[in-house]
Amino acid sequence: MSKQLKFSHKILLVAAVIVSLALAAFAVFNAYLQRNAIDQSLRATLSETGKVTASNIAYWLDARVKLIESEVQVLARDSSPAVLVEVLGQTVYTNNFDRTFLGETNGTYTARPAYTPAAGYDPRKRPWYIAATSAGATAITPPYVFASTGKSGLTISTPLQRDGHQVGVVAGDLNLTTLIDMLASLDVGGLGEAFLVDSDGKILVSSHP
């Protein structure tokens, strides 16, 4: 009877161990499923948030591209000194750009708000002028430091043509503050940070200024 009792204890012990192992395995598997579900949910949320932010940035940039192109359309009809100063100084441009300007093929440079560049400044040698001229269309420069303000930004530029010939390039400087704020508003739950990169993978703007 004693031996049978000891044997039954062993059976119970083995059964208890098996049940414990099964429960532990179930707990581990359940934890894995929960982590996997949380991970998938987080990835989906971050992906959707990223798409929305990217769409907002694209819309923001596109709106300002259209402003510069509309400025070109006006100046293509008349870019006499009086009209030029009036157009460049319009509120719609001064409110959306740090500065808008025209670099002409003869080297003349006119900007609003007014800015007198350093001696020897030639707009035709500037990246924004060269980019628009080379493309024959609207171009956006990589971020750089503006000589006029010392701030980082990018420039949108478009060729100005009259009678089928280019007479200059109209451009507008955009401060990066707005883009940085957009990226900083992207909530990644402390798991990383947002970047704006170009097609070559070069970081253009970071959520950290």
How large a percentage of the chain has pLDDT more than 90?
Answer: 41
Token pair 């992207």 is found at 186
- Pure H helices in the chain: 2-77, 81-88, 91-94, 127-135, 177-184
Comparing 21 with 115, the larger pLDDT belongs to: 115
- The answer to whether 187 touches 49, Cβ cutoff 8 Å, is yes
Q: Give me the DSSP letters along 30-79.
A: HHHHHHHHHHHHHHHHHHHHHHHHHHHHHHHHHHHHHHHHHHHHHHHH--
**Between residues 33 and 150, which one has the greater pLDDT?**
150
Query: Where is average pLDDT lowest: 94-103, 111-120, 125-134, 200-209?
Result: 200-209
Cβ burial of 25 (10 Å; 0-12, 13-18, 19+) is: exposed
Residues with Cβ within 8 Å of residue 128, at least 6 apart in sequence: 139, 141, 155, 157, 169, 171
Mapped onto helix, strand or coil, the DSSP state of residue 20 is helix
- Domains of the chain by residue range: 1-209
The residue behind tokens 């991970």 is 39
Q: Does 67 or 14 have the greater pLDDT score?
A: 67
Q: pLDDT tens digits for 61-88?
A: 899 999 999 999 999 999 889 999 999 9
Task: Dig out the tokens for 153 from the structure.
Answer: 């930004």
| pLDDT of the residue at 26 | 72
Question: What does the pLDDT look like over 24-66, one tens digit per residue?
Answer: 777 777 777 677 766 676 666 666 766 777 777 788 889 999 9
- Give pLDDT, residue 152: 81
| 1-209 CATH choice from 3.30.450.20, 3.40.1360.10, 1.20.120.530, 3.50.50.60 | 3.30.450.20
